[in-house]
Amino acid sequence: MSGNMPNNHVRKTLRAQAFSRQDGRCHYCKVRMWLHCPEELGLPLNRAAKLRCTAEHLQALCDGGQDHPDNIVAACLRCNEMRHRMHPAPDPVRYGKHVQRLQRAKQWHRQYILAAGLLPASEVSHPR
Ligand SMILES: [Zn+2]
C-alpha cells in the first residue's frame, strides 16, 4: 500500500464518486441506494439497511485489485455481502446476471423494497 491518505478515506471518496456516476443506483441490482443516511430514500433504517451504498471492488483486494476508480463500483450492501459470501466470489459480470435473474423473479430484495419504487420501472413488473 502506498500513498499518504488512509485507505478508508480514499475508499470513501471513490465510493461517493461511483455513487454519483451510477446515478445512485447499485451496479448489480440497480436499486436506489443511500450514501449518508437512509432518510435519503424515505425509509426507516431497519428497512433500508441493505440499501446502504458500499464500495465494491470488481477485482477483490486479495486478488490484487486496487483502490482505483476503474476497480470500484457502488453496490448496495446486499449485493456486496452476497457476492463475497460465495466461494469463490463470482466475477462481476456473472454475478450481475445472477442478481438480475433473481431480481426479475422478485427474489432478491424484500417485498417492501420493491414496493417502495426503488427499482427502475423496467426492472419490475407492475405491482398492483
Ligand atoms: Zn444491489
**pLDDT band for position 5 (cuts 50, 70, 90):** low
Rounded-to-integer distance, Cα 116 and Cα 41, Å: 9
* Count of C-beta atoms within a 10 Å radius of residue 115: 11
Q: Is 1.10.30.50 the CATH classification of the domain at 7-116?
A: yes
Q: Dihedral of CA 10/14/19/23: which sign?
A: positive
**C-alpha cell at position 22:** 451510477
Ligand 1 centroid, distance to 53 Cα (angstroms): 9
Please state the domain extents for the chain: 7-116
Residue 95 has pLDDT above 90, yes or no: yes
Q: Dihedral of CA 62/65/66/69: which sign?
A: negative
Least confident piece of the model among 14-28, 71-85, 86-100, 111-125: 111-125
Ligand 1 centroid, distance to 24 Cα (angstroms): 11
Ligand 1 centroid, distance to 8 Cα (angstroms): 21
